[in-house]
Structure formats: structure tokens, C-alpha cells
Amino acid sequence: MSAERTAIPVLEVVGLKKSFGEHAALDGVDFRVEDSEVVAILGPSGSGKSTLVRCIDQLESIDGGAMYLDGELLGYERHNGHIRPLRDSDIQRQRRRMGMVFQQFNLFPHWTVLRNVTEAPITVHGIPPAEAKKRALELLDRVGLADKADAHPRQLSGGQQQRVAIARAVAARPRVLLFDEPTSSLDPELVGEVLHVMKDLATSGMTMVVVTHEMDFARGVADRCVFMAEGKVIEDRPAQEFFAAPRSTRLKAFLTRSTQAETSAP
Ligand SMILES: Nc1ncnc2c1ncn2[C@@H]1O[C@H](COP(=O)(O)OP(=O)(O)O)[C@@H](O)[C@H]1O
Ligand SMILES: [Mg+2]
């Protein structure tokens, strides 16, 4: 067995269950992400992709299973031989080690771009303001927005706003970045600039989980691809094999449909 497989994964999800009423959105999901790995999550609408990343980020409670970040149990603690929910402050402490990028960028409209990026590092992580500003400007430069530091979100295109949201997530030096369809609300001509920034992060060694419909990104940038349907992981394979030799009928059909959709797009 290689050293890589015996190392503690950055993220590990075991038998995760989550229901909304009678409906099992996650029906026993197992999933792991190693250091510096980029994992794409694909699947039809309603298959549980958003629920999975929202559970990992503790925006949703879970009904069963367990999740670990660097080996630390998320959301719960062992106490006198029992498992009990963590206090809110401890949950927030765990959440700070993850960065989340949403389909809707969720920037604060009344703040400048710079403040959107520096706020959490200063108020939550206790970074001195001058240092937070320096790092934010470096990150804005990296996402191609050095000249927009003093702009407000409404003055930016959707692609630019999403790049700010990514800079904001990276500014907190997360252990893992979670993306939920980061380009799905963008006009087609703005998708490329956001994917370019994500590819740059992936190349720099950032550990990333990316829910996406962008097949070229999944194929070209992800190390592994996970296919979900009806709250279950159907296939979890190295990206090349995933696309070149899908095993399940469902993934084959999904890839055929997705490729057709891409080639028929305007
Ligand atoms: N807050 C919610 N309340 C009720 N049902 C929900 C909620 N969030 C998700 N669901 C349901 O859970 C299933 C999985 O949803 P979701 O994780 O959003 O799928 P995906 O992101 O793959 O499109 C869907 O059937 C959806 O309708
Ligand atoms: Mg979703």
C-alpha cells in the first residue's frame, strides 16, 4: 500500500445520511479527499451534490454517518463514551478551516471588494489589518482584479464577482475549498475566466471539491470524479478513467447527455 493511501485524508465522509422529510437526499455517501487533490462531483439535478457540500460545511445537520477534517470529527465530539453535538462556537471554529464558493457569489453589496476579502481574516481570524490588506491585494492580483479593490460588487460583472468570492475564500487560508456550481449562474462568455482562476488554484496545490457541470474542467483539472445519483455515489474514479471508461449505465447515459448538451450549446 502506498504512503498516500495510509495518510489521513483532508476530508473523509463515511456513510453520510441526510433526509428532508421522507426524502433521502443523501443515502449513505462515502467519499474522501487527499491533500492537494481536486475532486469533481457530477450528477443530475437533485442527486444530492449541494446537500453533500452543505453538510460538509455544516450548513445542514446530518442524520447519520460521520465526516472528518484532517481526522477531526466534524460537528460532534466524544464525551463519556457518547457522541454529542459540538457547541456552535466549536462548529464555527471547524467551519473556518473550509472555504465555500456558492453559485450566487454572496458578496456584501455595501462593502468594497477589498473589504469583502479582508473582513473575515481581520475579524474572525485575527490577522492584523495591514497584513490582511496586503494579502488581499495579492489575491485580487492573482484573480486578475488588482484594479477593482475599491469597487463595489454591483460595479462588477458576474465573473468578476465570482473571482472576488474565490479570493475571499482563499484569504482565510482554508484547508479545503468547496465549490457548488461556481459558474452556473454566469453568462457563457464569463465562465472561462472563473474556471481559469480555479485551475490556477488547483495547480498551486489547493485541495478542492468542485460540484460542476463543466465537463472540460472535470476532465482536464480534476484528479478524481465522483458521479452521484439519487443520494448515492455511483462511481468514484480517476478523471481520465471516469470519462474514457465509465462502468455504470447511468454514468454512460449522463456523459452522453452532457456531451450532447455541450456540443449543441450556442
Ligand atoms: N432544504 C431542503 N428542503 C427539502 N428538500 C430539499 C432541501 N434541499 C434539498 N432538498 C432535496 O434533496 C434532494 C437533493 O437536492 P440537492 O442536494 O440540491 O441536489 P443537487 O445539488 O444534486 O441538484 C432533492 O430532491 C431536493 O429537492
Ligand atoms: Mg445543487
Q: How confident is the model at residue 176 (pLDDT cuts 50, 70, 90)?
A: very high
Architecture of the domain defined by 35-60+96-263 = 3-Layer(aba) Sandwich (3.40)
What is the DSSP secondary structure assignment for residue 47, as one 8-state letter? S
Domains of the chain: which residue ranges? 35-60+96-263
Is the sign of the CA dihedral 212, 216, 220, 225 positive or negative? positive
Q: Which atom of ligand 1 is nearest to the CA of 231?
A: 14
pLDDT digits (tens, 9 = 90+) for 8-40: 999 999 999 999 999 999 999 999 999 999 999
Question: What are φ and ψ of residue 160, in 5° steps?
Answer: -70, -40
Nearest protein CA to atom 18 of ligand 1, as residue: 50
Q: Nearest bound ligand to CA 102?
A: 2
CA atoms within 13 A of residue 155's CA, in its CB half-sphere: 11
What is the residue with the minimal CA distance to atom 2 of ligand 1? 20
C-alpha cell at 128: 492584523
Q: Which of 16, 50, 103, 250 to mutate to test the pocket of ligand 1 (most atoms within 8 A of CB)?
A: 50
Ligand 1 binding pocket (C-beta < 6 A) is 20, 23, 25, 43, 45-51
Residue 261's pLDDT is 72
Summarised one tens digit per residue, pLDDT across range 194-233 is: 999 999 999 999 999 999 999 999 999 999 999 999 999 9
* pLDDT tens track for 242-262: 999 999 999 999 999 987 776
Work out which ligand 1 atom sits closest to the CA atom of 26.
14
- The chain-wide mean pLDDT, for the chain, equals 95
Q: Residue range 68-91: average pLDDT? A: 95
pLDDT at 82 over 80: yes
What angle (nearest 5°) sits at the alpha carbon of residue 103, between those of residues 147 and 87?
A: 105
Q: pLDDT at residue 161 above 60?
A: yes
Backbone φ, ψ for residue 45 (5° rounding): -55, 135
- Residue 94, pLDDT score: 97
Atom of ligand 1 nearest to the CA of 45: 23
Going from the Cα of 55 to the center of ligand 2, the distance in angstroms, rounded, reads 12
Residues 131-146, mean pLDDT to the nearest whole number: 97
- How remote is the CA of residue 23 from the centroid of ligand 1, in Å? 9
First to last CA, the chain: 47
Q: What is the DSSP letter of 147?
A: G
Q: Is 264 helix (H, G, I), strand (E, B) or coil?
A: coil
Pocket test for ligand 1, best of 13, 19, 22, 51 (most atoms within 8 A of CB): 51
- Residue whose C-alpha cell is 485575527: 126
For 102-121, how does the pLDDT look when each residue is reduced to its tens digit (9 = 90+)? 999 999 999 999 999 999 99
Residue nearest to atom 11 of ligand 1 (CA): 25
**Which band of pLDDT confidence, cut at 50, 70 and 90, is reported for residue 2?**
very low
Q: What is the pLDDT of residue 260?
A: 77
Atom 16 (ligand 1) nearest CA: 48
Confidence check: pLDDT of 265 > 60: no
Residue with cell 460588487: 153
Confidence band, pLDDT 50/70/90 cuts, at residue 7: confident
